[in-house]
Amino acid sequence: MNFASPFSISVVAITVLAFLGLPIGHSMIAGSILYLLLAGLDMGTAAEQLLNGMYNNYIILAVPLFILAAELMNIGSMTERLLRFCDAVVGRFRGGLAYVNVVQSIIFAGMSGSAIADAAGTGKMMQMMMTKDGKYTPSYAAALTAVTSVIGPIIPPSIPMVIYALVSDASIGYLFLGGVIPGLLMAAAQMGIVAYQAQRNNFPVETPTPLRELPGITWRAFPSLMMPVVLLGGIYTGATTPTEAAAVAAAYALVISVVLYRSVSFADFYQSVLASARTSASIGMLIAGALVFNYVVTVENIPESIKAILISWDLSPIGFLILVNSLLLLLGCVLEGTTILLVIVPVLIPTARALGIDMVHFGVMVVVNIMLGLVTPPYGLLLFIMTRIAEVPLRDIVRDVLPFLWAMIASLVLITFLPGLVLWLPRLLGYQG
């Protein structure tokens, strides 16, 4: 590799700017423009790639709409009603609130599509519920909330899967279907750890909700529980595209919170729109930077070069998947997930295709890897979020996260080596891959 080449200088510039604190999206745009300048190419190409990439991809619009839907859920009473429903169903067992934490993440997974939105939305409430009267340590409650939040983007809908579809041209609908069983498998692994710890540590047993109250609790939560049905039903019946379904989800959350539950003021709505806009803008800038940098990568023929190198190693499909898992788990410790999806994964896709690896299976495996990165030290964005919410040292949360992390890595191994876990449901509904 020529370290004085325009591409090498561009990569160094992006790395230095990012370490100096410039957002990674801005860093990629600046580094890409520097490459165009040094390579003697038209610098206007950066703007062309950015505009074409952002405006020609209707799918990108789903990202801010899913974010808005999550914000609208959190400002209303939908969250409280769903948590009450989860507590009524599983709260009666030893370690009941820990089970509630897992179950509520499964339900919220069908609504927001974002791990961070799930953690921020229910994190404070679950933290308060679990630590009240000293039932659970603050670090354990925070660790459990962090690991259960990663289920959100695996079970549909999923913002990371939307972004993967953008770079791979895989079907969003089949990607969503492919995430259902892996997401439930990871939830089962988490429940297994909770069950073991509940018996070993003698977790408290909550006061059981009388069965006669269960129908009323279910009825009050029913409109909220119907949101995944409305969202996914629109996609799989063909009534809506995934982007249109995201808009329907946001509208449904608004109507339920404002009209039915009457729990949202205009000021609350305004603040949720502002928060959604800020989050969407940061993701949009990251996508824009990646689109420009990916043009540079394409000009340098990096994907084909890496494809040739990997093929020369004579890797089997399984060997390649093991390599990708190892690489993504390591990168997930230090890089933000969207950056990995937009910069690293496109380089790996040509090799995956050449080896005959199914793009839906590969996509779900990649997303699971990236979600594990959110709770993997030392970076682990969800760990930092829960550190702020719980106000406990990071080392304490990491200690309590590790058993769950190992269980989820075991689930990842099954997902990698048993493609049927991912592809069974899509094939049942017509996928030909």
One digit per residue, pLDDT tens: the chain, 433 residues? 556 788 788 888 888 887 787 887 788 888 888 888 888 877 776 666 666 665 566 667 777 887 787 777 777 677 778 778 877 877 777 877 888 888 888 877 666 556 666 666 666 677 777 787 777 888 898 889 889 888 878 888 788 888 898 888 888 889 989 999 999 999 999 999 999 998 888 887 777 778 788 888 888 888 878 877 887 788 777 788 777 887 888 888 888 888 887 777 788 888 888 888 887 787 777 777 777 777 777 777 776 777 777 777 878 889 899 999 988 888 877 677 777 888 888 888 888 988 889 999 999 999 999 889 888 877 677 787 788 777 888 888 889 999 999 999 999 999 999 999 999 999 998 888 7
Chain-centre distance for alpha carbon 98: 21
pLDDT score for 110: 60
d(C-alpha 106, C-alpha 101), whole Å: 9
CA-atom Rg of the chain in angstroms? 22
CB 273 within 8 A of CB 68: yes
CB 378 within 8 A of CB 333: yes
Length of the chain (residues):
433
Instruction: Give the number of other CB atoms < 10 A from CB of residue 78.
Output: 26
pTM for the structure as a whole: 0.80
d(C-alpha 331, C-alpha 185), whole Å: 24
Give the torsion sign (CA, 402, 407, 413, 415). negative
For residue 94, give the 3-state DSSP assignment.
Answer: strand
DSSP secondary structure code for residue 56 in this structure: S
Q: How is the chain split among helix, strand and coil, in percent rounded to 5?
A: 80, 0, 20
pLDDT score for 109: 67
Chain-centre distance for alpha carbon 102: 16
Q: Nearest to residue 385, comparing CAs of 210, 143, 167, 135?
A: 143
Crossing angle for the helix pair 227-236 and 242-255, nearest 10 degrees?
Answer: 160
Q: Nearest to residue 401, comparing CAs of 182, 146, 185, 221?
A: 146
H or E stretch at 163 = helix 159-168
